Structure 1
Amino acid sequence: DLPRLIVNRPIRGEGFEGPEATQRFLDFTLAVPGFLQDLLGTGQWVLFEGFALERIPYLLTLSCALLGLVAINGLFKFQINTLKGRMGERMLRRLRYQLFDRVLRFPTPYIRRIKQAEIATMIKDEVEPLGGFIGDAFVQPAFLGGLALTALIFIMLQSFWLGLVAAAVVLVQAFLIPKLRRRILELGRQRQLAARALSGRIGEVVEGAVEIHAHDTSNFERAEITRRLGDIFLIRFELYRRKFFVKFLNNFLAQVTPFIFYAGGGYLAIT
């Protein structure tokens, strides 16, 4: 509300009707509950009276306060993102080391059968997105969970039954969405395996290009790659269908709560 306060009071002049009028800055007051007003003899409890400022000093003070709050918010985001990136990269480094350590433990006959391109792609490229995901896996649930809990508590303080309705919708989302995402995760694993196999097959073709030209099997190799690309296309298409359906369902359930509030709360308010 600070930008609105700057526009309404010092710029438009609300509260500064006279040339010597002042407004208080950093005044803190608490509303006294009704059952304590008779005991204390007042409806407000003044913690700090603040500073009386004229119009121009009040404008400059509010502007500096706004700039300071923006800077503090930016520093918080900078620190959070830096620590999040550091944690993600450290976990990614450890994961790559563990994968490489597992490769060294493979039996010799198995090492001879695996393809170099698949192993290199798996360690270098396939785990790369996890670097950004690991940090968000800790930060986003805490941030969004705190926002949801705050909103739920506020709604329940306003109306207990509407709060229960909102909690029920959240529970439905928490139960239904993860179940629908299981198939999406399975398709994602299939896509990774198919892409890994394609990479290995392309590596084999490149290594044996001389033999392919010598035996004139280019059409066979083209057909093989076409089949693999078709399999990847079908997997990705099914993945997109299910992923966007889950997104649609999640957004729809998120809008059910406002619908209930508007319809049910409006009906109760009218009647």
Structure 2
Amino acid sequence: MSLDLPKQIVNGPIQGDGFNTPDTQQTFLRLVIDLPDWLGKVEPVVLFNGFALDRFQMLMALSGAFLFLVIINGLFKFYINTYKGRLGERMLRRLRFQLIDRVLRFPPNTFKRVKASEVATMIKDEVEPLGGFIGDAFVQPAFLGLQAATSLFFIILQNFWLGFLAAFMVGIQGVVIPKMRRRLILLGRERQLTARQLAGRVGEIVDGISSIHVHDTSNYERADIASRLGRIF
């Protein structure tokens, strides 16, 4: 209904379609159920006769109905985004706690091969995007999927072949885009590992800053960091 209301507002009260004279009235909010033809010659079932409105009243009624639907849609989005954030933060809190619990179980020899800054980066920064992903993993398929299905159904009602073409393009995207993203996922993993090593190297520089100044190896450290940044790029 919200997809068809703008067309009704423009074609009806604004352009005057159906309002040939100033006294012409149209029915608003008339609810009728059309029965299928295979039942025979059966009259449509009228649930509500509606209201007889003139041109200005019809414009106000349709605009008010459209505004009401927009507000309802906004409230749905507000509710979804709020609880999506709560879900993501709760899962993120549990994930970080489990990571700390695993770190505490490692034997002491393991920490000789891992830098403290790398562990801190993994627990603090690398799991941060998972908070948004966890919420979107449940909400986006349901919300956007139903929204796309509604839009596709509306297009099919307007023009069957146009809706068929839109569904065909959606199917192509569903096959091609995941294949194109495989390379991006691999590059993202490599970038994450390189960034983790960079964090460990920065931690070493900060811890050994006195030795760097004493032995005057700052240029070497700059070259090493520049090389690591180049690999990330």
TM-score interval, normalised by the smaller of the two chains: 0.7 to 0.9
- Give the CA deviation at 1:121: 1.7
Distance between the aligned counterparts of 1:19 and 1:168, measured in 2?
A: 46
Distance between the aligned counterparts of 1:228 and 1:19, measured in 2?
A: 76
Question: Taking structure 1 as reference, are residues 11 and 145 closer, same or farther at Cα in structure 2, changes over 3 Å only?
Answer: closer
Give per-residue Cα distances to partners, 1:187-245, cap 9 Å, x unaligned.
21111111111111111112111112222322322232222122212xxxxxxxxxxxx
- Give the CA deviation at 1:32: 4.3
Contact preservation (8 Å) 1:85, 1:132 = yes
Aligned partner (choices 38, 41, 64) of residue 39 of structure 1: 41
Q: Structure 2: which amino acid aligns with 1:145?
A: G
Distance between the aligned counterparts of 2:79 and 2:231, measured in 1?
A: 44
Name the SS for the 1:129 alignment partner.
Answer: helix
In the other structure, the counterpart of 1:79 is 79
Moved more, 104-113 or 75-84: 104-113
Matched, 1:26 2:37: no
Matched, 1:131 2:134: no
Distance between the aligned counterparts of 1:10 and 1:168, measured in 2?
A: 36
Consecutive unaligned residues in structure 1, runs of 5 or more: 234-271
- Give the CA deviation at 1:173: 4.6
Name the SS for the 1:39 alignment partner.
Answer: coil
Consecutive unaligned residues in structure 2, runs of 5 or more: none
Name the SS for the 2:213 alignment partner.
Answer: helix
Matched, 1:120 2:120: yes
Moved more, 16-25 or 68-77: 16-25
In the other structure, the counterpart of 1:210 is 210
In the other structure, the counterpart of 1:15 is 18
Q: Structure 2: which amino acid aligns with 1:126?
A: E
Distance between the aligned counterparts of 1:117 and 1:217, measured in 2?
A: 21
Distance between the aligned counterparts of 1:129 and 1:195, measured in 2?
A: 15
TM-score in terms of structure 1 length: 0.70
In the other structure, the counterpart of 1:142 is 142
Question: Taking structure 1 as reference, are residues 165 and 214 closer, same or farther at Cα in structure 2, changes over 3 Å only?
Answer: closer
Moved more, 44-53 or 85-94: 44-53
Give per-residue Cα distances to partners, 1:91-135, cap 9 Å, x unaligned.
111111111111111111222442222122221122212222222
Q: Structure 2: which amino acid aligns with 1:39?
A: K
Q: Structure 2: which amino acid aligns with 1:89?
A: E
Give per-residue Cα distances to partners, 1:12-32, cap 9 Å, x unaligned.
443333444321111123444
Distance between the aligned counterparts of 1:95 and 1:207, measured in 2?
A: 29
Contact preservation (8 Å) 1:117, 1:199 = yes
Question: Taking structure 1 as reference, are residues 97 and 231 closer, same or farther at Cα in structure 2, changes over 3 Å only?
Answer: same
Contact preservation (8 Å) 1:152, 1:163 = no
Distance between the aligned counterparts of 2:205 and 2:23, measured in 1?
A: 87
Distance between the aligned counterparts of 2:154 and 2:19, measured in 1?
A: 38
In the other structure, the counterpart of 1:241 is none
Give per-residue Cα distances to partners, 1:133-185, cap 9 Å, x unaligned.
22222222223433555638976x947xx959956972x65455434433322
- TM-align CA RMSD: 3.2
In the other structure, the counterpart of 2:68 is 68
Q: Structure 1: which amino acid aligns with 2:140?
A: Q
